[in-house]
Structure 1
Amino acid sequence: MTIFGTPIETIYLVLLIVSGVLTILYIFFGDVLHGLGEGLNFLHPTLVLSFITFFSASGYILELATSISSALIIAISAIIALVLDTLLNMFVLIPLSSAEESLAYTEDSLKGRIGKTIISIPEDGFGEVVIESKSGTIAKPAASVKNAPIEEGTQVLVIEVKNGVLYVVSYENNQLHYEE
């Protein structure tokens, strides 16, 4: 079969090469297009490029390896691409997007957490507290709630978070040291 005087095998091969190059460019410059697929998940650039790649690769292989009619090969290739694209979305892209969100934290999620001072907090000043979690270590600037000094290496309890600064109180041996 020919389309506009070009053999269909050549069209499949050109589509495969172009989608491969676009995929590599998307890997490097994908952050620029990140918002493009937010509203329409089925038009996500990764899914579109993978569909074209799967379609053209299966079409090219089927044209070379079988003697089936080109119209049937187009239909089979579209079905193969749709199935592979769906599997890619369900088992790779969706879990990756969920995992990325689960590693993030908000300032509100730090309230009530126990940390350790790595830089002592002076009276009316700032130090630094580290909070360990399953997803990693968080180091944030900290100040004492009552403007009392807190030494380095002291366990502290996060009472409040304002503008990225943790307001903490001493928390030794699971006992709160909060003097009025």
Structure 2
Amino acid sequence: MNKQLLSVLFAGLAGLALNSPARAAGPDEAQIEQLIERFKTAIVAHDQKGLEALFVDQGGSWFEVLGEDAFRQIKARKPDLSRVHPDNYRHFASFVAGAKQPIEEKFENVRIHTDGAVAAVYFDFVFLVDGKRNNVGSETWQLVHTNDGWKISAMAYSSYPDRAR
């Protein structure tokens, strides 16, 4: 009976080790983590050029999607409001550079998935303006591995300004 129990226990532990998400980050994951840090640093530094350098120059997409509660509240005042707002990284970089107050984006629960050529990054964020929560949500980036390293090719994020307070 004890041998049978030990066999089941070892089989279960072996399965956990093979399927564990906590594995050593490879060079691609480490480079992507550096890209994430450069993104956050560029926002704090109001560095427009540094921020723009993290994106694929041509193509790409950028979308803000209002969360359900925020959409409902704003739509009550603005009936023609669209829930999805297309934009681009250059507009965001210009906003960052022109911000008069300190701004910062904090990331939590960052998940990276890559095959070495393309990658997806998904995380929860809090965007701070002058040290105060401005909006929160989840954000996803699509990355491509270019001749110049990893670049962001697409971004979409949810926005919940009403949950930030």
Structure-2-length-normalised TM-score: 0.25
Tell me which of the two structures has the higher relative contact order, counting C-alpha pairs closer than 8 angstroms and 6 or more residues apart. Answer: 2
More strand by percentage:
2
Return the index of the structure with the highest Cα Rg.
1
More helix by percentage:
1
